[in-house]
Amino acid sequence: MEPFRIKAVEPIPFPSLLERRRMLSDAGFNLFRVPARAITIDLLTDSGTSAMSAAQWAALMTGDESYAGARSYERFETVVRELTGYPEVIPAHQGRAAERILLGRLLRPGDVSVANTHFDTTRASVEAAGAVAVDLPAEHDAPAPFGGDISVPALRELLSGPDGARVRCVVLTVTNNAGGGQPVSMDNVTAVRRLCDRHGVTLLLDASRFAENAYLITERDPAHAGRPPRDVAREVFALADGCWASLKKDGVANIGGLIALRDAELARRCRDQLIEVEGFPTYGGLAGRDLDVLAQGLLEVTDPDYLRYRAQTARWFGDRLAEAGLPVLQPTGCHAVYVDAAALLPHVPPHRLPATALANELYLAGAVRVSELGTLVFGRPHPDGGDDLPAPRELVRFALPRRVYTKSHLEYVAETAGTVVAKAAEIPDYRIVEQTGPLRHFTAVLAPG
Ligand code: F0G
């Protein structure tokens, strides 16, 4: 059960079928463009959508809004240092700002960044620096406990091959959001650390879901069973040279990001850039009160009861969606349940966007909003103008905002999914009518059929 009770509530809308149809078509059949006032259950993202605790609301009032050297920054810095062990702590307003600043200082044109999977904004920051983003996820034939791992053999081969000298950093995204929300194992981080030492390469974490990764290590690796998740998280941080994070996830807050590093010189360069684009180094684009909320959130998020509830909710919800007939990726992680849209809609080829087709149908059926992680997000226009280059997988993500929806909300989503599965063969495909750049999914205009 939820390890909290509800103190403040917010009504949710129930648009009619007619309204849902109009909303979707007015939005160019892109759920990012549908207004939230037309959504009943919003599982678009777990990012910035958390419910704050009473202690976080209280922390808002203690925020120190001094431009420089605020007490709020000191509290934030203390918590982040205690958690990560990194001495250099730089706040940013959200994850992608942190990525842009850090990767922009670290990478030079022609460099290579290797990851288990770069999140889409991370890839955009690597490419903006003129560098190349290479994903080397470990391949598994069967469901694996640590499906977020990077392939150590492939990384070793790259580092000792002709392009090895170009590799500037290895990034482990914990958990691996774009790769199904799966955790990275302690053994994997340890093996990557050794390779990075041997080749003089920087190891960075995208630590946006560090607490969920740590909890899943305690659940899935008998060597770490029963350990406090915070200790496990600290051990993972200790193996890397630094991190960035979107604190809109495991900061359990509505805004925030950070860079934390051992390297004082790299941190100095990041701060110089921070001042140009975000703000003074002790607030980094946030209000003082946000830093207090984040300091509190970063303490709460490693609570074992909270993390157990979070993992159990995802597992239970995954089982309900599977019972409803959706091809659910197993095992589930913490922040979302992923569904294989290509398996449900074999009549829709990748360039006709099966993941979008499923997501849109869930909206029409019950004003449920999920996100597509298929060819609209990860595919690319064909250089010769042919069909889009497809994404590796056509996934739909049912993300779980932290501490927001109850089991009965999620039961409603599973019921809605059942009605969609029943008419899967009739679900229309989509084509892209308008698009811009590598982050096209946020604004693209689509049309059915
Ligand atoms: N890294 C990871 C692993 C993420 O999942 C995200 C955001 C970011 C970086 C960027 O952080 O949004 O604070 O700028 N993921 C959101 C999501 C958008 O829905 O998964 P941001």
Residue 169 domain-assigned (yes or no): yes
Q: Say if residue 28 is in the same domain as residue 103.
A: no
95 CB near ligand 1 (under 6 Å): yes
Mutation pick for ligand 1 pocket among 32, 174, 249 (CB with most ligand atoms within 8 Å): 249
Q: Say if residue 295 is in the same domain as residue 312.
A: no
175 preceded by a cis bond (ω within 30 of 0): yes
Q: Say if residue 115 is in the same domain as residue 243.
A: yes
Nearest residue (by CA) to ligand 1, atom 18, is: 47
Indicate the pLDDT class of residue 438, thresholds 50, 70 and 90.
Answer: confident
For residues 16 and 417, what is the distance between their CA atoms, to the nearest angstrom?
17
Indicate the pLDDT class of residue 140, thresholds 50, 70 and 90.
Answer: confident
208 CB near ligand 1 (under 6 Å): yes
257 CB near ligand 1 (under 6 Å): yes
116 CB near ligand 1 (under 6 Å): no
Nearest residue (by CA) to ligand 1, atom 4, is: 119
Q: Which amino acid is at 58?
A: A
Domain end: 236, 270, 300, which one? 300
213 CB near ligand 1 (under 6 Å): no
Residue 9 domain-assigned (yes or no): no
Q: Say if residue 153 is in the same domain as residue 287.
A: yes
**For residue range 50-105, what is the model confidence (pLDDT) as tens digits?**
999 999 999 999 999 999 999 999 999 999 999 999 999 999 999 999 999 999 99
Q: What is the mean pLDDT of the chain?
A: 96
Residue 233: domain span: 54-300
User: CATH number, domain at 405?
Assistant: 3.90.1150.10
Q: Say if residue 293 is in the same domain as residue 399.
A: no
Nearest residue (by CA) to ligand 1, atom 1, is: 119
Q: Say if residue 128 is in the same domain as residue 208.
A: yes
Domain end: 300, 325, 359, which one? 300
Ligand 1 center to 246 CA (angstroms): 6
Ligand 1 center to 140 CA (angstroms): 25
Domain count for the chain: 2
Q: Say if residue 228 is in the same domain as residue 118.
A: yes
pLDDT of residue 305: 98
**For residue range 180-228, what is the model confidence (pLDDT) as tens digits?**
789 999 999 999 999 999 999 999 999 999 999 999 999 999 999 999 9
**For residue range 224-254, what is the model confidence (pLDDT) as tens digits?**
999 999 999 999 999 999 999 999 999 999 9
Rg of the chain in Å (alpha carbons): 21
Ligand 1 center to 402 CA (angstroms): 15
Ligand 1 center to 122 CA (angstroms): 9
User: CATH number, domain at 84?
Assistant: 3.40.640.10
pLDDT of residue 52: 98
Q: Say if residue 296 is in the same domain as residue 329.
A: no
- Is ipTM over 0.95? yes
Mutation pick for ligand 1 pocket among 47, 210, 370, 378 (CB with most ligand atoms within 8 Å): 47
Residue 77 to residues 3, 29, 84, 257, 283: CA-CA distances in angstroms?
28, 43, 10, 12, 11
Q: How much is the average pLDDT of 36-40?
A: 98
- Residue 178, pLDDT > 80, answer no
Residue 47 domain-assigned (yes or no): no
